[in-house]
Structure 1
Amino acid sequence: MADDTGGTAATGQPLSYRYGWYTTGVLMLAYTFSFLDRQILNLMVGPIKADLAITDVQFALLTGGAFGIFYTIMGLPIGWMADRYPRKWIISTGIALWSLMTALSGLTRTFPQLMLARIGVGVGEATLSPSAYSMLSDLFDKTRLPKAMSVYTVGIYIGAGLAMIIGGTVVGAIEKTPDIVVPLLGEMRSWHVVFIVVGLPGLLVALWVATLTEPVRRVRPADAADAQAAGFSLPRIWKFLASYPLMSVSLFLGSAMFSVMSYTDAWFPELFIRTWGWGPQQTGFVNGAASLIAGPLGMLAAGWWSSRMIQNGQGDACLRLTAYAAAGIALPAVLMPLMPNGYLMGVLLLPLKFFGGFTPVLIPTAIQMIAPAALRAQLGAVFMFTVGIVGVSLGPILPALLNDYVFRDENALRYSLSVASGIIAPIAFGLLFIGMKQFRRRLAEVEGATSA
């Protein structure tokens, strides 16, 4: 039955939607490890700053600049590869790379060494999402795709939540004995051990991804003439984006500005530590619980809500709901750091994580719905590029800059975070909303050609 058949395997055999959901689950696990390896750094600000003698801005470069810039730059050529070569092998290789580089972070002794290791993590993680977006769009039709994207991207908050809880527990358990002697490796600090423990299990996930069946790429009638275009070409990407300038601004720049507020969470654990004197275990539990509860709920709500709207004929559902989320997150983002106690701050983390989960589900789905066949992974990589350059990099760095150069007080972090959100939120909403009409026009062109 048509309802039971999803994509097609490279062997020509049909793949059921059940297998599509299995693939989605494996990719979600990979995304979980991606964010676990990425976010574990954020819980260890104090020990790393003390041991390496670095400033807030230098730490922000570790979590934003060093990681984010290479994560985004490498996404473009990897996106081209994912449009032409087996995506499961690209993902599997990337997982192995970022897992090894996370473990190697535990062997570093200087700031440049740790920065190089974080660059390696960024390069490895750049392989995942462009390839996964492309695979999922070949496994599901447009009404199921938002749901599949929501399940895949749940890995963001599961990984971030586990990073906070596991990392907080480990750091809290050994913070009284920060020097640990490990066989063969000698004396190590507690944060070194955390990197090694978190990084190595990812190698098993890399092997699991390698067992997946590679789906055949879907080619829509609207894209048939373009499907065989070869070679990575920035002019071809630019030509498409320039044909729909307002839509492109919304999908790429608007979502990137929204993501700035999400990536300021690099400072949330340290916010509780500096403002209320909480320990790593307590702050890890509160931040981790918020990620594990509200983040997945937001993602699943975004996927199911947008799927229902699309079924009812509202084709712009993904972009529209993202704009609404940008409006919804504004007040909690501004108020959360200013709350009079840590527990109220913890409560306001819930709407932040809930609305923050909309963008990574809805915008990649919207891009796959309107992208030419030969540019699907590459446009997914452009999304990762803009989110990385603007969000992953600016999210941690903007509050640090305000803290170091405006307030000039390490304990003013709460005001830096509040001001940063107050500036970014209205800009994100405006940028997301202006491209709605052109998005509907492009979607009509794709669906019209397919119907014809």
Structure 2
Amino acid sequence: MLEKVDAQGQVDTLSTTSTKSTGYACYLIFILLLAYTFSFIDRQILSLLVEPMKRDLVISDTQMSLLQGLSFAIFYTLMGLPLGRLSDRKSRRGIIAASIFFWSIMTAACGLAKNYWHLFVARMGVGVGEAGLSPAAYSLIADSVDKKHLSKAIGVYTMGIYLGGGLALIVGGMVIQWANSFTTISLPFVGEIYTWQAVFLAVGLPGILLVPFLFTLQEPRRNVSPQSAASVSDVVAFFKTNRKTVLYHNFGAAFASVAGYGALAWVPSYLIRVHGLSSGEVGLIFGLIVLFAGAGGVLTGGAIADKLYRQGKLDAKMRVAMWAMLLGVIPTLFYPILSNLTPVLVLLTLSTFFANFMMGLGPAAIQEAVPTTMRGQFSALYLFVVNLIGLGLGPTLVALCTDYLFGAPEQVGYSLLLVTSIAMITSAILLWRSLPHYRKTIECLSED
């Protein structure tokens, strides 16, 4: 049975199949996975275009990092809060569909930008569009799958980061390799554009094709009607009571994201500048690492945490994420300083695997540690903190170290070592501090 709220706010009952059936839940997660994949293709394609964009726009690493991080992160985080609240009250599938359409158009607009500031504004638009996806998606998943499978389900959804990031690198590398023989490309109605601009058009517009599939999804029943979603005062009261749980969790995830986004943004340039690989080679090699090691980390972390949770470990998600950070810092300390490419890639794979446990466990923990009526809003708060710090600062901190601390583009490996290792250690400490508070919050919610 599902509830339908009409225009007057009355709740009607509809007869339908349970949205928690295994088949439908798999279909829903698949569609949301595709949406997240498209979002990360549009978000991460920039990391492979650093060198040609720096050349054509005549900009520094720091300016480039602002396009990769801050321009996107500011509006992604600011818009996430109101859109998260909206997802607690309105149609979540409608919010996601509108978001996909808008960010796809704005990604294509990056391909039409005439200068650095046009591109900066277009990247802001991509951030606005993508802000509506994850709060609504987390809430849909949490209301559509059994709680005992929640970590695994959100882990599968989170694989979109790695499918999107990996495909952006692999396909982008192939396109760049093909386009290297051209200085510019001439398109009908558009005229001459740089080859990197053509890449934005090629990855942006196809996302629009996904929009109709969102309307094949059901809007699952909430425990209460949308009009009864928690008020701002209720959310503030819950936050005050559980502030240590929320803050340690959110900031622990944020520092993990500093390491993750810093690496995603600058490992391609590191491999090009230090090890002499071409853009096409980097796209294939690093794309496969992101695709398989990143996705493998998310799925492995979710599976371990779910198993421990079934054994009665209430803090399983935070504990598994903490140990993953500690294990991941070991290869992170060594891969940027080795000269032989083979061990570099082996250690980079291990670093990517462990560093990404938190990407699935973080949002899954939010769904578990807050009331149903607040999931969208606390998911938005989580994304606000994680992306403002992780995405907003991760790429820029690496670039600032390269430009001003080490003073040479080829020293980007040392910048990666410094920023990512400190971030992972800090994340592990914050997650360790979260454990008793997280357990207490879960116990209180269970009693209620």
Q: Shared topology, TM-score over 0.5?
A: yes
Match of 1:252 in 2: 250
Give the distance between the partners of 2:135 and 2:67, measured in 1 at CA.
23
Task: Verify the 8 A CA contact 2:88 2:229 in the aligned structure 1.
Answer: no
Match of 1:329 in 2: 328
Task: Verify the 8 A CA contact 1:261 1:333 in the aligned structure 2.
Answer: no
| Deviation at residue 343 of structure 1 after TM alignment | 2.9
| Deviation at residue 80 of structure 1 after TM alignment | 0.3
2:56 matches 1:51: yes
Match of 2:364 in 1: 365
Give the distance between the partners of 1:120 and 1:12, measured in 2 at CA.
40
Match of 2:8 in 1: none
Match of 1:262 in 2: 260
Give the distance between the partners of 1:360 and 1:304, measured in 2 at CA.
13
Deviations 1:52-111 (A, max 9, x none): 111111111001000011111110000000000010000000000111111111101100
| Deviation at residue 342 of structure 1 after TM alignment | 2.8
Match of 1:291 in 2: 290
Task: Verify the 8 A CA contact 2:102 2:126 in the aligned structure 1.
Answer: yes
Give the distance between the partners of 1:116 and 1:45, measured in 2 at CA.
18
Give the distance between the partners of 1:270 and 1:218, measured in 2 at CA.
48
Match of 1:3 in 2: none
Match of 1:413 in 2: 412
The alignment yields a C-alpha RMSD, in angstroms, of 1.7
Match of 1:32 in 2: 37
| Deviation at residue 374 of structure 1 after TM alignment | 2.1
The worse-fitting range, judged by mean Cα deviation, of 12-21 and 300-309 is 12-21
**Structure 1 residues 291-440: aligned runs within 5 Å:** 291-440=290-439
Give the distance between the partners of 2:299 and 2:238, measured in 1 at CA.
30
Match of 1:179 in 2: 184
Deviations 1:295-349 (A, max 9, x none): 1111111122111111111121111111111111112222121121233222222
**Structure 1 residues 437-448: aligned runs within 5 Å:** 437-448=436-447
Match of 2:239 in 1: 241
2:156 matches 1:151: yes
Alignment gaps of 5+ in structure 1: 1-6
Deviations 1:36-58 (A, max 9, x none): 11110110001111111111111
| Deviation at residue 281 of structure 1 after TM alignment | 0.3
Give the distance between the partners of 2:198 and 2:106, measured in 1 at CA.
14
| Deviation at residue 227 of structure 1 after TM alignment | 8.3
Match of 2:280 in 1: 281
Residue 129 of structure 1: SS of its match in structure 2? helix
Task: Verify the 8 A CA contact 2:229 2:374 in the aligned structure 1.
Answer: no
2:104 matches 1:105: no
Give the distance between the partners of 1:356 and 1:276, measured in 2 at CA.
23
The AA in structure 2 aligned to 1:246 is K
Give the distance between the partners of 1:444 and 1:300, measured in 2 at CA.
26
| Deviation at residue 241 of structure 1 after TM alignment | 2.4
Residue 159 of structure 2: SS of its match in structure 1? helix
| Deviation at residue 445 of structure 1 after TM alignment | 1.4
2:69 matches 1:64: yes
Task: Verify the 8 A CA contact 1:52 1:109 in the aligned structure 2.
Answer: no
The AA in structure 2 aligned to 1:383 is Y
- Specify whether residues 390 and 288 from structure 1 end up closer, same or farther in structure 2 by C-alpha distance, changes over 3 A only: same
Quick one: which of 162, 170, 180 aligns to 2:167?
162
The AA in structure 2 aligned to 1:95 is I
- Specify whether residues 188 and 144 from structure 1 end up closer, same or farther in structure 2 by C-alpha distance, changes over 3 A only: same
Task: Verify the 8 A CA contact 2:402 2:409 in the aligned structure 1.
Answer: yes
Match of 2:25 in 1: 20
Deviations 1:104-132 (A, max 9, x none): 11101100100111101111111111000
The worse-fitting range, judged by mean Cα deviation, of 238-247 and 79-88 is 238-247
Task: Verify the 8 A CA contact 2:54 2:60 in the aligned structure 1.
Answer: yes
Give the distance between the partners of 1:80 and 1:126, measured in 2 at CA.
12
| Deviation at residue 12 of structure 1 after TM alignment | 4.6
Deviations 1:377-399 (A, max 9, x none): 11001110011111011110111
Give the distance between the partners of 2:337 and 2:214, measured in 1 at CA.
43
The worse-fitting range, judged by mean Cα deviation, of 237-246 and 98-107 is 237-246
The AA in structure 1 aligned to 2:79 is M
Task: Verify the 8 A CA contact 1:227 1:374 in the aligned structure 2.
Answer: no
The AA in structure 2 aligned to 1:83 is D
The AA in structure 2 aligned to 1:400 is A
The AA in structure 1 aligned to 2:253 is S
Task: Verify the 8 A CA contact 2:325 2:354 in the aligned structure 1.
Answer: yes
Give the distance between the partners of 1:406 and 1:274, measured in 2 at CA.
17
Match of 2:137 in 1: 132
Task: Verify the 8 A CA contact 1:40 1:163 in the aligned structure 2.
Answer: yes
Task: Verify the 8 A CA contact 2:89 2:227 in the aligned structure 1.
Answer: no
| Deviation at residue 419 of structure 1 after TM alignment | 1.1
- Specify whether residues 128 and 328 from structure 1 end up closer, same or farther in structure 2 by C-alpha distance, changes over 3 A only: same
Task: Verify the 8 A CA contact 2:259 2:421 in the aligned structure 1.
Answer: no
Residue 314 of structure 1: SS of its match in structure 2? coil
Residue 201 of structure 1: SS of its match in structure 2? helix
Quick one: which of 218, 223, 239 aligns to 2:223?
218
